[in-house]
Structures are given as C-alpha cells and as structure tokens.
Structure 1
Amino acid sequence: MSERTFSIEFFPPKTDEGVVKLRETRRQLAQLKPKFFSVTFGAGGSTRDRTLETVLEIQGEGLAAAPHLSCIGSTRANIREILEVYKSHGIRHIVALRGDLPSGVADPGEFRYANELVQFIRQETGDWFEIEVAAYPETHPQARNYTDDLNNFKRKVEAGANAAITQYFFNADAYFNFVDDCEALGIDIPIVPGIMPISNYSQLARFSAMCGAEIPRWLAKKLESYYDDTASIKAFGLDFVTGMCDDLLTGGAPGLHFYTLNQAALTSALWQRLGL
C-alpha cells in the first residue's frame, strides 16, 4: 500500500485576532507533521485574498500548503489569474471545488461543476498542480440521487483529479460502501476520509444539516443527552471519532483529513490516540 496521507484543514481568519489564534493553532498542529495543511476558499471567492495570505504564511514556515479553489460565480479569467499567482509562489497542490454562490448572487459564472474546473486547471497548467477534489459518501445534498452523484465524482476523476477528500461522516460503512462503488466504476484514485472532531453538538447539527452529513440517530440522542456539558460531549466525541478512525485505517483508508475549525486540541488528541 502506498504511503498514507494525513492532512489538516483551516479556514482563513477574518480578524487580526483570528490571525494570531490560527498561528498558535498551526504551531501546535505543525508538531504532528501532517503531509499538508489545506485552506478553505469562501463562497464565490469571498476569502480569496485571505486564503492566499494564509497559504503563503504556512509555506513561509516551511510547511506544505494547499489552497482550496472554488469556481461557482467565477470566470475563466478570474481562475486563470489565481492559478498564475499560485504558480508564481511555487504552490503545487490545490483542492478544486464547485463551491457555493454567495447569498443574494444569482450569476453562477462560467463554471457550473467542479469537473469543469479540474479540466480547466489541467488545460491551463498541465501537471503543475496535484489536484484534490471532494467526494460525498452520503451523497451531495444537491444531487438528484446517489448514482448521479457517483457519476459526478467519476467526471472529476476523469478530468484529471489526483485524489479526493470526503465530506465528513459518522458511519464508516458509508465510506467503505462508497469506495467499493467507486472501484466498481473503475475509479482508482485515493479517497481520503474527512474527519470532523466533535466539540459542540448544536454547531455540529447545524453544519451537518447544511452539508448533508448524517448524524446517526443514536449518536445524536447520546450527544443531546449531555445538554451543555461540553467536557462530556468532547470526551465522548473523542472516544467515538477515535474508534471510527481506527476502523477506517484498519479497513484500508489511504489516510485521514481533519476539519479543525481552526482549533488544535481535539485534532492533536485524535492524532496521538491513533498513534499517527
């Protein structure tokens, strides 16, 4: 089996205070020696400059960084310009996504789907970038059905994606079933599970409703039973997510990608418990 990939995701901070806090989080998580840090890109490119600043700062610390790039609401000229900037700074790794339109904006721009973005990046830059794309073991919330979504994923792979990171989930079987279905379609790129540490149930429920990640009923009930006892939620969440990650790695997952929400503690604890 090829070397496993363990990576960590941040979002670009909006305030000076957030910048300082993220530096401290990054200092702690850099000790874990992840393969790369990825940095998200706001709806319609709304955090474009902050994404670049954060990526360059990470790179300046001698660490590998992969900016997210979403295409909805963008033109080919916009995307070409961003790719040129990333190339000029020696960035070789991108997470290519469709993304969301900012609220109140009706124009989807020149790209409708992520496979069109992947194809465009390949046309413009050849093999310069290693391209990651998103995968949805529990189906994208806007997909018509599971099969349609699987075919959408296949199109991204055929357009030139090197690897994929999944939406987070709390059911390892959903991941393994998805990987089996991908293999049956001849998809053979690494599909790395996205992992969301559990720290705050109401926030998690809100995120999950928006992105279509299912919280199994028993898990939701268990987390609800702790009410506002955040220490118990975190302790139980840590046990549950560690067990799931263990199952994923034992079952052959090619790595793990941690959604940190710019916090270090839970990702560090998971990493140490798993012996990564």
Structure 2
Amino acid sequence: MTEPTTPAQYSGQDNGQDGHLAKRPAISFEFFPPKTEEMEKNLWETINRLAPLEPKFVSVTYGAGGSTRERTHATIARILKETSLLPAAHLTCVGASRGEIDEIVDHYHEVGVRHIVALRGDPPGGIGTPFATHPDGYQTSAELIDGIKKRHPDIEVSVSAYPEKHPEARDLDADIDTLKAKVDAGATRAITQVFFDNDLYFRYLERVRARGISIPIVPGIMPMHNFRQARNFVTRAGTTVPDWLAEKFDGLDDDPETRKLVAATVAAGQVHKLAKHGVDTYHFYTMNRADLVFAISHLLGIRGKSAKKAA
C-alpha cells in the first residue's frame, strides 16, 4: 500500500507526529426507517444509545424507488423534535417528478433540515434490475444536486462514492467523472460504499485527488453483525468481500455471540489502520444496531456526552 504523503491530505485535521490522530475523530451514522412497531422501538433504542457520542450528523435512508418516503420523513421529523442530532435526509431521483422532489426539498428546508444525501437511487426492483428515472424527473444525481442548491443554497449536500466503482459504471474513470459532476453541481462531501480492503480506499482517493476533487471522501464502515446476510447485501452493491474476511466468520453461523466479537474486532482493526494513515472521519452503516458501533467508537477514543435537548 502506498503511504500517504501527509495524513492530513485525507480529511484536513491536524495529526500527531507519529501519524495518529491528535483530535477526536468525526463520526456520523446511517439509519434506515422502520417498517414495524417493533423495528421502530429498536431504532429509537439505537438512536438514544448512539446520540451521546455526538455524531456530526445522522442520515436516514430512502428505499429503492422512493419506497420508504413517508417513513423516512417521519423518522427525520422525530429526530428533529426529540433529539439534538443533525439529520441528513437521503433523497433520490427515482419514482418522482421534479415538482414532487422540489416539494420534498422545500418541506425539509421548512422543518429545519439543512443536509441532504443526494443519490440517483436504486431501481424499484432493487440492485440489478432495470433502472429508469421518472420521465419528468431529475435524470442524474448531479441534476438533483443542482436543483437542491438552486432552491436552497444553504442546504449541504453529501453524495456517494465507490472505491470499487458503481456496479453500473463502465470503469473507475467513468465513475470518477460522475463524482466530479456531482461536486461541480455543489456536493461538499462524499461517503463511500462499504469496503473491507483499505488499499482500495487509498488507491481510489489518490485517483480522485489526481482529478482535482478536493472534498472529503469519508470511508463508509459496516460492522458485520450477520456475516452471511451482510455479504449478500454488499456484494450486490459491488463490494468485494475478501477471502480472509470470510474465513474469520467460518463456522460461526449458529454462534451469534462469537460473530459479534469477531465483527467488532474486524471493524475496529479497519478503522485503526485508517486512522494510522491520517483518516479522521468515519461514517458507520449501523443497520439500526448500536452495540458494535458504540464499541468501535469507544475504541477510537470517543466518549459519550448528553445529546438530549434540554427540557
């Protein structure tokens, strides 16, 4: 792996002379909107457990084809009402006209949302099925970003990035062209798809920087609570699961407690190696579970404080 010329080239914070972080890492969390009352209860237990860690923001996903739109809106509204967390609403181009999407953006702005994660979105049938945007809708994520920024310049826009390229991209150069278009439209942060080989992230970052893209490229980290389920999910999105990682979970299908310990060890090892090379910002795909993310954050030196609004 090529060593970074300076650790700060990755995200801009000062680092100690030994290459380790001199400041508290910045973290953010991703949640998905719950489908049932039980899932709702679990999500809020997770949010209340993680909120004291003071994440920079928390994002709430938007299902394939906009299928979770109302639940996403409801979750965002509750976060704004009941916590001091800063919510970032996912928004996609799929399944809605420009007018409908503009109304959603206006509504978010009205209720206090100042951060949107703008995505092209997956087709309604999921990854791998034919993709088509609404005939009267935004056709690309860059168009969506441009629309958001023209209506509300004070909304911060984050976007996705793919160290192993988007599954539909012709090649990595074409995928970086797409990222450049999103930055030119007004995106100020990119969050990566899950990766398990840090070399992939560093090589991607070098190519992105060589293209003149200077926004933070935040690594997306997913603790593997259920390895078999998680592997199926991430591989459909184009993430490589290395053989060494699969071997660590071999024989643990019926042993959830040991799986949890292994998953925490693997994810903690990944973020510590990233930190050693100057990465100081992380986005955790929580899968609406707090335990592993809380433990990994603790190992990064992050200690909780009260994040509840004053009564």
TM exceeds 0.5? yes
The separation in 2 between residues aligned to 1:90 and 1:205, in whole angstroms, is 36
1:264 matched residue in structure 2: 290
Alignment counterpart, residue 192 of structure 2, candidates 162, 166, 188: 166
Q: Which residue of 1 aligns with 2:305?
A: none
Whether 2:232 is the aligned partner of 1:206: answer yes
In the alignment, does 2:276 pair up with 1:250?
yes
Q: Per-residue deviation at 1:114?
A: 1.1
Counterparts of residues 108-147 of structure 1 (less than 5 Å):
108-109=133-134, 110-125=137-152, 127-147=153-173
* Conservation of the 8 A alpha-carbon contact between 1:73 and 1:111: no
Q: 1:100 Cα shift? A: 1.1
Quote the offset at 1:123 in angstroms.
2.0
Tell me the secondary structure at the aligned position of residue 258 of structure 1: strand
Alpha-carbon displacement from aligned partner over 1:192-241 (angstroms, at most 9, x marks no partner): 10000011111111112211111111211332243422222221221121
State how far apart, in whole Å, the 1-side matches of 2:56 and 2:150 are: 27
| 2:77 corresponds to | 56
> Which runs of structure 2 are paired with 1:202-241 in the superposition (5 Å)?
202-241=228-267
Which residue pairs with 1:100 in the alignment?
A: 122
Instruction: Give the unaligned 5+ runs of structure 1.
Output: none
Task: Name the structure 1 match of 2:100.
Answer: 78
Amino acid at match of 1:96: A
Cα distance between partner residues in 1 of 2:89 and 2:290 = 19
Decide which of 61, 66, 69 is 2:91's aligned counterpart: 69
Query: Does the Cα contact within 8 Å between 1:13 and 1:22 map onto a contact in 2?
Result: yes
Once the two structures are superposed, what CA deviation does each residue of 1:110-138 show, in whole Å capped at 9, x if it has no partner? 2232111111112222x221100000011
**Contact 1:72/1:113 (8 A) holds in 2:** no
Aligned residue pairs: how many? 275
Structure 2: 5+ residue runs without aligned partners? 1-11, 14-22, 303-311
Give me the whole-angstrom Cα distance separating, in 1, the residues matched to 2:131 and 2:142: 21
The alignment partner of 2:257 has SS state of: helix
8 Å contact from structure 1 (residues 191, 254) kept in 2: no
Q: TM-score, normalised by structure 2?
A: 0.84
- The offset of 1:106, in angstroms, is 6.7
State the alpha-carbon separation in 2 of the partners of residues 73 and 130 from structure 1: 23
Q: Which has the higher helix share?
A: 1
**Shift, 1:14, TM fit:** 0.9
1:28-52 CA distance string (max 9 Å, x none) = 0112111111100111211111111
The aligned amino acid for 1:113 is T
Q: 1:35 aligns with which of 38, 46, 56?
A: 56
Give, in angstroms, the shift of residue 190 of structure 1. Answer: 0.6
Is 2:122–2:131's contact at 8 Å kept on the other side of the alignment?
no
